[in-house]
Protein backbone atom coordinates (compact mmCIF):
# COMPACT_ATOMS: atom_id res chain seq x y z
CA UNK A 1 0.00 0.00 0.00
CA UNK A 2 1.12 3.54 -0.56
CA UNK A 3 0.28 6.93 0.86
CA UNK A 4 0.51 10.38 -0.66
CA UNK A 5 1.27 13.59 1.26
CA UNK A 6 -0.25 16.71 -0.33
CA UNK A 7 -0.47 20.38 0.65
CA UNK A 8 -3.94 21.61 1.53
CA UNK A 9 -4.26 25.30 2.43
CA UNK A 10 -2.06 25.93 5.46
CA UNK A 11 -1.71 22.22 6.23
CA UNK A 12 -1.08 18.84 4.70
CA UNK A 13 -3.22 15.78 4.01
CA UNK A 14 -2.21 12.14 3.79
CA UNK A 15 -4.21 10.01 1.35
CA UNK A 16 -4.09 6.35 0.56
CA UNK A 17 -4.94 2.98 1.99
CA UNK A 18 -2.86 1.50 4.76
CA UNK A 19 -3.76 -1.48 6.92
CA UNK A 20 -1.30 -0.38 9.62
CA UNK A 21 -2.92 3.01 10.16
CA UNK A 22 0.14 4.86 8.90
CA UNK A 23 -2.09 7.60 7.56
CA UNK A 24 -3.62 8.45 10.94
CA UNK A 25 -0.25 8.31 12.68
CA UNK A 26 1.36 10.56 10.03
CA UNK A 27 -1.44 13.13 10.28
CA UNK A 28 -1.21 13.14 14.09
CA UNK A 29 2.55 13.73 14.05
CA UNK A 30 2.38 16.42 11.33
CA UNK A 31 -0.44 18.25 13.13
CA UNK A 32 1.44 18.18 16.44
CA UNK A 33 4.64 19.35 14.72
CA UNK A 34 2.80 22.36 13.26
CA UNK A 35 1.11 23.19 16.57
CA UNK A 36 4.52 23.09 18.30
CA UNK A 37 5.74 25.83 15.90
CA UNK A 38 7.88 23.40 13.85
CA UNK A 39 10.70 22.76 16.36
CA UNK A 40 14.23 22.39 14.95
CA UNK A 41 15.94 18.97 14.77
CA UNK A 42 18.27 19.68 17.72
CA UNK A 43 15.25 19.77 20.08
CA UNK A 44 14.49 16.08 19.43
CA UNK A 45 16.00 13.08 21.20
CA UNK A 46 16.28 9.52 19.93
CA UNK A 47 16.04 6.65 22.39
CA UNK A 48 17.43 3.31 21.24
CA UNK A 49 16.80 0.13 23.23
CA UNK A 50 16.61 -3.56 22.41
CA UNK A 51 12.84 -3.08 22.04
CA UNK A 52 13.28 -0.47 19.29
CA UNK A 53 13.88 3.21 18.55
CA UNK A 54 11.73 6.17 19.58
CA UNK A 55 12.03 9.78 18.43
CA UNK A 56 10.99 12.05 21.31
CA UNK A 57 10.14 15.72 21.76
CA UNK A 58 8.56 17.29 24.87
CA UNK A 59 5.66 18.80 22.88
CA UNK A 60 4.99 15.98 20.40
CA UNK A 61 3.74 12.40 20.59
CA UNK A 62 6.48 9.77 20.60
CA UNK A 63 7.31 8.47 17.14
CA UNK A 64 8.25 4.79 17.16
CA UNK A 65 10.67 4.11 14.31
CA UNK A 66 10.74 0.93 12.28
CA UNK A 67 13.46 -1.57 12.98
CA UNK A 68 15.73 -2.59 10.12
- Summarize pLDDT for 10-46 with one digit per residue, the tens: 777 766 665 566 677 778 888 888 888 999 989 999 9
Tally Cβ neighbours within 10 Å of residue 23.
18
Q: Looking at residue 16, what DSSP letter applies?
A: S
Residue 56: its pLDDT value, please? 92
How many structural domains are present in the chain?
Answer: 1
What is the rounded distance in angstroms from the CA atom of residue 23 to the CA atom of residue 61?
A: 15
**Owning domain of residue 58:** 4-65
Residue from 44, 46, 48, 47 nearest 59 by CA: 44
> Is residue 7 predicted with pLDDT exceeding 90?
no
Amino acid sequence: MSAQLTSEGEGRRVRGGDPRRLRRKTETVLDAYGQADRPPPQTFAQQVTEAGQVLRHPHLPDLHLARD
